[in-house]
Structure 1
Amino acid sequence: MKSAFQSKPPRYPTHWLDIPAGALIQQAVTQVCNDYAQRIFGYHFVKLGTLSSYIPLTQSPIRNMVNVIPHISSDLKDSVSQVQNTDAPLNSETSLDEQAIRTGNYIVGQSHILPFSKNSIDGLLLANELDFAQDPHEILREVDRVITQSGYVMISGFNPLSLAGIAKFLPVKRNNILHDARFFTSYRIKDWLQLLGFEIVEQRQIMFSTLFFQPRWQYSEKIQQFLSSYIPWCSAAYVILARKRVIPMTAIRSPLRVKPRFAPVGAASARTPSCRLSDTPK
């Protein structure tokens, strides 16, 4: 199996729009992650990476949202300043980007060196963060360090067994950033998580598209459900929900004492029986 570490870091996307079908992927990942987020309770939630920061988790009961991004671009600064100056309520017409900006704080940092203490984060989102990571193992180790003992992690990724995975190796659109993506299988991601003590709760397959070309028409919801039910292995992306499981240590009991084969003779029985007067010889 090819090593997960890559000597040359891949190009890192600054927005979902860097991918031709990025808006559709963002919408599909947001829908699944909002469904998963309703199960996660606690005090702190962290979204790792630039793509994760554009996923609004409006259905999450955790209100303290933090976005960890490698840098803040000028476009993001302008968007944050514009959004913070508005008092309009969130509704279905609000864009996903605006929802994400208004529901989270920003910290400039790296995903493999998180500025959080141990066992302090209740939930994490990695929206295709591992696909554009130089060393995904390093990121998952940091996730394992900061997550609580019953915390959840949501990970989305590109499926190499799909049409998009095949197109990655074809000499088409070489300037597309997807050619730099890692495309790890969901089985490999789940294997890494299980080695770190995570339990796989659920996985969903999303998006049936080549991703390398701007789609001219969208599949209907019924077609998407049909493909997801009968040929899920060929979906372009997937979303995994996992939970950290820590088995408590139990004290080792002392071994059972073996009952002796012969009981010791009591002190009373060891005494010499006294002679009665009637038994004395005349």
Structure 2
Amino acid sequence: MDTRSPEKPIIALGSWLQTPVGAYMRAWQQQRLDVLTADIFGFNAVQIGLPQINALRANRMPNKWLTDSCLPPRTEGDDSLPPLALLHDFSELPFASQSLDLVVLPHVLEFVDEPHQLLREVERVLIPEGQVIVCGFNPASMWGLRQLAGRLTGAHFLPQDGEFISVPRLKDWMKLLSMEVNRGHFGCYAPPCVTEKWLNRYGFMERAGDRWWPFLGGVYIVQAIKRVRGMRLVGPAWSRKTATAAKGVPATNSMHKQE
């Protein structure tokens, strides 16, 4: 179903994922997303954009959809990618308010024209205590520095159309929308190499980086929960009479009192 005229596709990132460094990043993110999404429960989950990564593969919700702004390129006989449910403009998500339990944004915020608007839409469609997972390139890394140098020389290491968002900046955006970050993961610590041979040689840095310089990974995954102000979990209603202990002992602070 096509709800609106789709905006420009994230073609640069799709083709970049076919390179050795793109495959290296995709493998790390797929493994991490499988772990994160396996323990998130509910009824409705959506992955927005980048169908080259099956972010909901390990999730067990009964309803899972993939949406994008354009039809992804597919090769004949390729059944590894999830089916595309619908096309839409990223600035207006075609879902009812408070209807989704989980939204995954794999590198979408970096390539849309209005990332703030997309996050506002995500907050709108999430139920209270619903979760959002964001994948992005880390500008505070060797990959980010290499990309910065590439902007000056014209030899880009990462897709050149992306506006990469730092984790502190992303946390600030989410805080304004009452979304509380509860998990963060960094990965892909290998230097910005372009060949599979050199990426394999630096494979040992994945474990070393995770231990010694955990915030300098080339990519990150941030998980946040939508908090609704004024909501709190309550137990059964207790009357003042019930809240009084037997034999006339007054109720303590651990007991519920009627206001």
Q: Does 1:57 align with 2:39?
A: no
Equivalent-residue separation in structure 1 for 2:51 and 2:204 (angstroms): 27
Deviations 1:112-143 (A, max 9, x none): 21111100011011111111121210110010
**SS of corresponding position for 2:197:** coil
Aligned-partner residue type, residue 165 of structure 2: F
1:99: Cα distance to partner?
Answer: 3.4
Question: For the Cα contact (< 8 Å) 1:158–1:184, is it kept in 2?
Answer: yes
Question: For the Cα contact (< 8 Å) 1:11–1:180, is it kept in 2?
Answer: no
Counterpart for residue 179 of structure 1: 160
Question: For the Cα contact (< 8 Å) 1:198–1:242, is it kept in 2?
Answer: yes
Question: For the Cα contact (< 8 Å) 1:56–1:99, is it kept in 2?
Answer: no
Q: What is the 5 A alignment of 1:146-165?
A: 146-165=125-144
Question: For the Cα contact (< 8 Å) 1:44–1:62, is it kept in 2?
Answer: yes
Aligned-partner residue type, residue 205 of structure 2: I
Q: RMSD between aligned alpha carbons? A: 2.6
Equivalent-residue separation in structure 2 for 1:18 and 1:186 (angstroms): 22
Equivalent-residue separation in structure 2 for 1:109 and 1:136 (angstroms): 15
Query: Which deviates the most, 137-146 or 10-19?
Result: 10-19
**SS of corresponding position for 2:159:** helix
Gaps of 5+ in 1: 1-8, 84-97, 251-282
Quick one: which of 89, 100, 125 aligns to 1:121?
A: 100
Equivalent-residue separation in structure 1 for 2:167 and 2:8 (angstroms): 20
Deviations 1:43-91 (A, max 9, x none): 1111111x25532432211132211111114x33x55xx45xxxxxxxx
Equivalent-residue separation in structure 1 for 2:162 and 2:178 (angstroms): 26
Quick one: which of 175, 185, 191 aligns to 1:204?
A: 185
Question: For the Cα contact (< 8 Å) 1:127–1:157, is it kept in 2?
Answer: yes
Equivalent-residue separation in structure 2 for 1:233 and 1:10 (angstroms): 32
1:219: Cα distance to partner?
Answer: 5.4
Counterpart for residue 37 of structure 2: 37
1:194–1:109 CA distance, 2 compared to 1 (3 A): same
Counterpart for residue 229 of structure 1: 211
Q: Does 1:142 align with 2:140?
A: no
Counterpart for residue 27 of structure 2: 27
Equivalent-residue separation in structure 2 for 1:17 and 1:24 (angstroms): 14
Equivalent-residue separation in structure 1 for 2:28 and 2:14 (angstroms): 12
Aligned-partner residue type, residue 18 of structure 1: W
1:146–1:212 CA distance, 2 compared to 1 (3 A): farther
The structure with the largest alpha-carbon Rg is 1
**Percent identity between the two aligned chains:** 24
Aligned-partner residue type, residue 55 of structure 1: N
